[in-house]
DNA sequence: GGAATTTGCTGGTATATGCCACTATATATG
DNA sequence: CATATATAGTGGCATATACCAGCAAATTCC
């Protein structure tokens, strides 16, 4: 029962779970893009994820942790943990909300904002490479597709639309 | 400069880095699908990633760690770490290669093979839901697209095709 | 207004994943 | 053959990400 995968002359495996499982396919692609973008961003010491997070913060109006977690489709506690290094390094700060004393709002420090701008320049290089390699129109369409898959609407459809 | 995101009536953020950055978009979708598939797989105590890995092992001919890492587009040491819980729980085992004493081959134990079959049944439910929610044809096309993005060919194109 | 419920966050624990340094083996080179 | 280099894995460390239990503040319900 073993040994079902065809391999080409270079020994590359040509079939795999990623051709049958959308979850595996997306995770595999995220590992690849993680590598490619990280390489292109280079020496700043910051990760692609940290850039994503800081950019989302920069583009939002001092979101609460919950707001940000929802937007990133991320578990709230995972977000908290992921922000810790950024807070420790003085790039991000949490300020208590004036109205709701449970909530904390996230914002970039001055250093954080400057760093985010710098990262954006470097990131644009990577994104341009992606667009060139993949096709600019297809690239945008892919991002829209992935945003749909990431939406609550899609989650509802996936789970059978119990309410509708 | 703060406060650029439009929000709809439910306070949902409508713009975000994921509409501009393919890397962020893919990672965000992988978090969403991670959730959806995990929910559908349920109580087995195993993660989607572990299912992917075990399925890839099941469909290969006792790959070496390197083979498997390449196929999964995963760092070799990351693969080693990820396999540890599966080895600890007796689902996977590593056997030294007869020819190359550096290499170790990965295979499922009997328990592992049985578990993988069981997981496949559960996984199919999730994949069917995905296909239904997203469209079966589009689903397959998406997986092929993501496989292309995950390929060495794409990495080369991304990095400017220095050799060609 | 006080109890019950919901909501926002934190801390602990576990897996996922990558980089680097190191070891051992294999291969190439003079 | 001896050395130089390349390859396969391991272990340590750091971040990414999720679940759960717990806490405190807000909201709902009687």
Q: Encode chain B (164 residues) as per-residue pLDDT tens digits.
A: 444 554 543 445 568 999 999 999 999 999 999 999 998 887 788 999 999 999 999 999 999 999 999 999 999 999 999 999 999 999 999 999 999 999 999 999 999 999 999 999 999 999 999 999 999 999 999 999 999 999 999 999 999 876 54
Does A53 have pLDDT greater than 60?
A: yes
Of A49, A41, A54, which is closest to residue A113 (Cα–Cα)? A54
Does A163 have pLDDT greater than 90?
A: no
Q: Which nucleotide has its C1' atom closest to residue A47's CA? A: D15
CB of B78 nearer than 7 A to strand C: yes
Closest-CA distance of chain B to residue A76, Å = 12
How many whole angstroms separate alpha carbon B11 and alpha carbon B156?
41
Residues in contact with A136: Cβ distance below 8 Å, sequence separation at least 6, in sequence order: none
Q: How far is CA B128 from CA A51, A162, B14, B43, B125, in A?
A: 34, 17, 28, 19, 5
**Is A76 in CB contact (< 8 Å) with chain B?**
no
Residues in chain B with CB shorter than 8 Å from the CB of A35 are 155
**Contact (Cβ atoms closer than 8 angstroms) between residue A41 and residue B159:** no
**Contact (Cβ atoms closer than 8 angstroms) between residue A69 and residue A79:** yes
Model pLDDT, residue B13: 52
Residues in contact with A91: Cβ distance below 8 Å, sequence separation at least 6, in sequence order: A54, A108, A109, A111, A112, A115
Crossing angle of the two packed helices A110-134 and A136-149, in degrees rounded to 10:
120
Question: Binning pLDDT at 50, 70 and 90, where does residue A14 land?
Answer: low
What are the residue ranges of helices labelled H in B42-96? Answer: 48-58, 65-72, 76-88
Q: Which residue has the tokens 């994949």?
A: B127
User: Distance in angstroms, CA of A96 to C1' of D20?
Assistant: 25
A7 vs A56, residue with greater confidence = A56
| Nearest CB to B37; choose among A23, A32, A70 | A23
Model pLDDT, residue B2: 42
How many whole angstroms separate alpha carbon A96 and alpha carbon B11?
20
Q: A72-97, pLDDT tens digit by residue?
A: 999 999 999 999 999 999 999 999 99
B161 phi and psi angles, rounded to 5 deg: 55, 50
pTM of the model: 0.90
Closest-CA distance of chain B to residue A8, Å = 13
Average pLDDT rounded to a whole number, residues A1-19: 60
Q: Which DSSP string corresponds to A96-114?
A: E-SS-TT-EEEEE-HHHHH
Binary contact (A70, B12; C-beta < 8 A) = yes
Model pLDDT, residue A39: 85
- Residues 30-59 in B contacting A (C-alpha not used; CB under 8 Å): 30-37, 39, 48-49, 52, 55-56, 59
Token digits of residue B45: 């105590």
Please list the residues that pair with A95 across neighbouring strands.
A105
Q: Is A51 exposed, middle or buried (0-12, 13-18, 19+ CB in 10 A)?
A: buried
CB of A103 nearer than 7 A to strand C: yes
Chain A residue closest in CA terms to B60: A3
CB of B76 nearer than 7 A to strand D: yes
**Is B21 in CB contact (< 8 Å) with chain A?**
yes
CB of A102 nearer than 7 A to strand C: yes
CB of B77 nearer than 7 A to strand D: yes
B36 vs A4, residue with greater confidence = B36
pLDDT more than 70, % of chain A: 90
Quote the mean pLDDT of chain A.
Answer: 90
Binary contact (A12, B152; C-beta < 8 A) = yes
């Amino acid at each position: 029962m073993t040994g079902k995968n065809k391999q080409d002359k270079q020994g590359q495996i040509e079939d795999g779970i990623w051709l049958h499982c959308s979850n595996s396919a997306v995770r595999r692609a995220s590992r690849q893009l993680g590598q490619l973008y990280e390489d292109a961003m280079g020496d700043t010491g910051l990760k692609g994820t940290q850039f994503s997070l800081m950019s989302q913060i920069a583009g939002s109006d001092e979101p609460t942790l919950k707001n940000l977690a929802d937007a990133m489709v991320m578990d709230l506690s995972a977000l908290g943990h992921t922000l810790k290094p950024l807070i420790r390094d003085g790039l991000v700060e949490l300020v208590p909300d004036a109205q709701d004393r449970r909530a904390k709002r996230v914002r970039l420090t001055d250093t954080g904002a400057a760093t985010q701008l710098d990262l954006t320049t470097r990131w644009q290089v990577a994104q341009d490479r992606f667009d060139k390699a993949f096709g600019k129109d297809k690239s945008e369409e892919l991002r829209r597709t992935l945003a749909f898959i990431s939406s609550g609407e899609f989650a509802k459809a996936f789970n059978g639309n119990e309410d509708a």
